Structure 1
């Protein structure tokens, strides 16, 4: 039997590569004769550059950029021909936030884009997702030369004083460069489904501060480009998607970009079963996340798709709406303590058990 293993990262515990290897280890214990094809995936968030490097080759250039609170952090630019790939989470990821989420800035993401341009890239693809910022991408714009009557690089809180923004220098900096925003979400910048309301709590924004932060983002949008703030993907990565869009970026779902890069459709057609996974499998997985994207590819190839996850938070009806035949929970099998303490071993054990049902 041929099995395509295409998981996302298990956030906070396993990278996509480690997750794929753990699933393969457990599967082989139960079905050593099965042919396994490992295709680690990403949706634009953490792991985006690593997955593309493994699939496309190219060179990795090490750079140092400003973290969310000003501390220098290491990052890389992946260069493949005249295209450069960068990952916003490396410069502004949630794991880098060490102070108030209201002052976390995306400035370092702009520095990453700048480094890519300085290296001669004609196309710069920015993976969005996993950010700890909610500054509307103002920091990114500042790093590329945008100016304002207020503070662009002070996080969301800095936007309180912004009434006008001049993007001329930033747009000039990117003259002749095609920008691509690889977005894992469809949310607009502001409002009920905006960056602050939808993703603020997971970044540490207190519930009673969300309306204030959303108001700052509204003011910032009014000072730059209100219409663009309503577009799909503007709320990605705390609004970094918005900043890229106002600079003329094309938006492309991150999962689609990675799917093409790893030739997932072709590999799914050669498989009998497709296995995907992520840390928490819930209905938000429909918003451009890896399991939904992989399941779509499997469906087009007329192959069944199953999911292994840290937690499964949807019922069978919702699961099938996402294109998944069955989903299996790590926490239910081994308990939360072991799932977090020894995630690789635990995932291998889950894969072994699942293979008893699905391998011929």
Structure 2
């Protein structure tokens, strides 16, 4: 019997990875095929759904400072508990509506830092942060404010999951416009990233 492995990522604005995987698998099954559903994620929206694990909830600062409920996952594996954080859940565009509802200069990753801290306090040995779908171009400065003392992470290793290789100083030029930044704001954000890079 033919086998279909339905392993899509999301179609942003159209369907989630699980929805697409299910639709493809159902079509294959109707044709008499065996189907396996394996939704994937590129580090952005849908990462938590792709990895599974125990769901945790935290109230954190959203990208514009309002409190938001954000989920993260704690996954048991051979190396001990691994936390998986989807930056979009705490600092994402969907939390501000769209680019027109965003304030690209003020948008902060503080809530993502709060999730990282919660994961460390829960005993995660590894913390994976998926960086896609954010409303922010602060270079992680908001998260660093929360995690100002490295000892707060204990022995946890912090890892980043993303599907781009844009240089740090180009982030505002590449991603700022889709987050609502005007050309003048892009230049301002680029200067801010440059100052942050010089500091760290």
Q: TM over 0.5: same fold?
A: yes
Unaligned ranges ≥5, structure 2: none
Aligned to 1:11: 12
- What is the RMSD computed on CA atoms of the aligned residues? 1.4
Higher helix content, 1 or 2: 1
The counterpart of 2:64, out of the listed 58, 65, 69, is 69
The counterpart of 1:172, out of the listed 133, 138, 151, is 151
Whole-angstrom distance in 1 between the partners of 2:108 and 2:37: 36
Unaligned ranges ≥5, structure 1: 147-168, 225-360
The counterpart of 2:180, out of the listed 200, 204, 217, is 204
Q: Secondary structure at the match of 1:115?
A: helix
Whole-angstrom distance in 1 between the partners of 2:11 and 2:36: 19
The offset of 1:28, in angstroms, is 4.3
2:137 and 2:172 in contact (8 A); partners too: yes
Q: Secondary structure at the match of 2:124?
A: coil
What is the 5 A alignment of 1:267-282? Answer: none
Q: TM-score, normalised by structure 2?
A: 0.90
How many pairs align?
A: 191
CA offset digits 1:247-300 (Å, max 9, x no partner): xxxxxxxxxxxxxxxxxxxxxxxxxxxxxxxxxxxxxxxxxxxxxxxxxxxxxx
Aligned to 2:22: 21
CA offset digits 1:57-79 (Å, max 9, x no partner): x3111111110011111112211
Whole-angstrom distance in 1 between the partners of 2:29 and 2:55: 33
Give the direction of change, closer, same or farther, for the CA distance of 1:43–1:99 in structure 2 (3 Å limit): closer
Whole-angstrom distance in 2 between the partners of 1:212 and 1:60: 38
Q: Secondary structure at the match of 1:130?
A: coil
Whole-angstrom distance in 1 between the partners of 2:94 and 2:20: 19
CA offset digits 1:294-347 (Å, max 9, x no partner): xxxxxxxxxxxxxxxxxxxxxxxxxxxxxxxxxxxxxxxxxxxxxxxxxxxxxx
2:4 and 2:36 in contact (8 A); partners too: yes
Q: Which has the higher contact order (CA 8 A, sep 6+)?
A: 1
